[in-house]
């Protein structure tokens, strides 16, 4: 049954009460840490946040209500930040930049709306999942709206190559979601199969965001480098998220992946050191009572540190791609932000 709140949709508003995401202070020229990296594009981020509000407005009044419900919950805004820094690194200083920065966030928003329906999720960003509030049908269709809006925006703000590459990225994301469904509960997948999944599901869009500005200015060499950088740090970002699922004190409930018997790099590494762990997980889904002991067994194998070391190696490979770009504060910020995506779990 649809939620009773669905009746309130026609009277909803797309206006947010305050910006979300991590916004720095005044633009900086010295980049010493992640706050400085974000501060370099703080004005761009603020402009993109305003543009994002406008982009979910529609004459069909249910659309902004549903999309704004998730937008108001905040988020890291990693994708707009990478788009801004990549664009600044190649000299893209157009008035279109804030709108180009919104493309990746709209794709991400649409995919989250879809994912929560597919997964039957109860919560997202510490509040009821959108489909729990407004119903499955309008949530899915609003996700479609966000994806379509993003494609149009990429064409208008980034040009033909940018929108073509976006289509490839979204295709990969869809393939990744299907792979995840097919492999649900399958603990026999190899490292290469795991990497294929996260490359498609997570890294493809991050790679597009990093390279979007270079496509917009027609710099194919820089775009290739930024895309490879984005793919490397995108994979590392997902591996780090997988590590955080096994740690306490992160603001998340640890063990969600393990409860679902979801194969991630920490679990792959743990099962190599503790073969009985695989047998125990194959026997049955962990109960709430069993979960703390299983989490500790994974930690005791050293799998978390090993996974983070692996992720750092991917980041190093990605950072080397930035050498083809001219020296700039934006390039320095991309290096700092790339490392932070892993070090946030240290």
Lowest mean pLDDT segment, chosen from 31-45, 82-96, 305-319: 31-45
Lowest mean pLDDT segment, chosen from 10-14, 200-204, 229-233: 10-14
Name the class of domain 21-340: mainly alpha
Neighbours of 210 (CB within 10 A): 34
Q: Confidence band (pLDDT; 50, 70, 90) for 250?
A: low
- CB of 125 closer than 8 Å to CB of 140: no
Lowest mean pLDDT segment, chosen from 224-238, 243-257, 298-312: 243-257
The Cα-based distances of 125 to 116, 156, 259 in angstroms read 11, 31, 19
Query: What contacts 115, CB < 8 A, 6 or more positions away?
Result: 121, 177
The pLDDT of residue 249:
66
The pLDDT of residue 4:
39
- 111-139 pLDDT, tens digit each: 999 999 998 888 888 889 999 999 999 99
Q: Measured between alpha carbons, how far is 133 from 152 in angstroms, rounded to an integer?
A: 28
- pLDDT more than 90, % of the chain: 76
The pLDDT of residue 32:
74
Alpha helices in 94-159 (DSSP H): 97-119, 130-134, 136-158
Ordered by start, the domain boundaries in the chain are 21-340
Averaged pLDDT, 96-125: 93
Residue 19 reports pLDDT greater than 80: no
Token output for 240: 């780090």
Q: Quote the mean pLDDT of the chain.
A: 89
Give Cα 24 distance to the centre of its chain.
20
Averaged pLDDT, 57-67: 93
- Longest Cα–Cα distance in the chain: 58
Question: What is the dihedral sign for C-alpha 106, 111, 117, 120?
Answer: negative
Query: What contacts 258, CB < 8 A, 6 or more positions away?
Result: 245, 246, 267, 281, 286, 291, 294, 295, 298
Averaged pLDDT, 72-91: 93
Residue 21 reports pLDDT greater than 80: no
């Amino acid at each position: 049954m649809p939620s009773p709140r669905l009746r309130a949709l026609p009277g909803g508003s797309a206006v947010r009460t305050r910006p979300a995401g991590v916004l720095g202070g005044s633009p900086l020229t010295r980049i010493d840490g992640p706050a400085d990296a974000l501060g370099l594009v703080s004005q761009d981020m603020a402009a993109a946040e305003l543009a994002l509000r406008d982009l979910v407005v529609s004459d069909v009044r249910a659309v902004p209500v549903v999309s704004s419900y998730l937008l108001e919950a905040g988020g890291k805004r990693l994708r707009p930040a990478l788009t801004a820094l990549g664009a600044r690194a190649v000299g893209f200083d157009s008035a279109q930049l804030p709108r180009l920065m919104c493309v990746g966030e709209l794709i991400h928003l649409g995919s989250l709306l879809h994912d929560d329906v597919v997964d039957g999720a109860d919560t997202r960003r510490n509040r009821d999942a959108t489909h729990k509030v407004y119903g499955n049908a309008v949530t899915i269709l609003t996700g479609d709206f966000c994806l379509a809006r993003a494609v149009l925006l990429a064409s208008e703000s980034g040009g033909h190559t940018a929108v073509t590459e976006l289509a490839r990225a979204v295709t990969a994301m869809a393939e990744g979601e299907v792979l995840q469904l097919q492999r649900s509960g399958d603990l026999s997948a190899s490292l290469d199969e795991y990497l294929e999944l996260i490359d498609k599901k997570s890294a493809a869009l991050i790679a597009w965001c990093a390279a979007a500005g270079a496509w917009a200015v027609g710099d194919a060499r820089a775009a290739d480098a930024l895309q490879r950088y984005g793919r490397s740090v995108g994979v590392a970002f997902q591996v780090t998220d997988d590590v955080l699922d096994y740690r306490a004190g992160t603001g998340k409930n640890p063990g969600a992946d393990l409860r679902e018997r979801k194969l991630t790099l920490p679990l792959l590494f743990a099962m190599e050191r503790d073969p009985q762990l695989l047998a125990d997980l194959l026997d049955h889904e962990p109960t709430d009572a069993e979960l703390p002991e299983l989490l500790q067994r994974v930690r005791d194998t050293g799998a978390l540190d090993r996974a983070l070391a692996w992720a750092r190696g991917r980041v190093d490979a990605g950072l080397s791609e930035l050498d083809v770009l001219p020296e700039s504060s934006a390039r320095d910020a991309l290096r700092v932000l790339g490392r932070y995506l892993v070090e946030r779990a240290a």
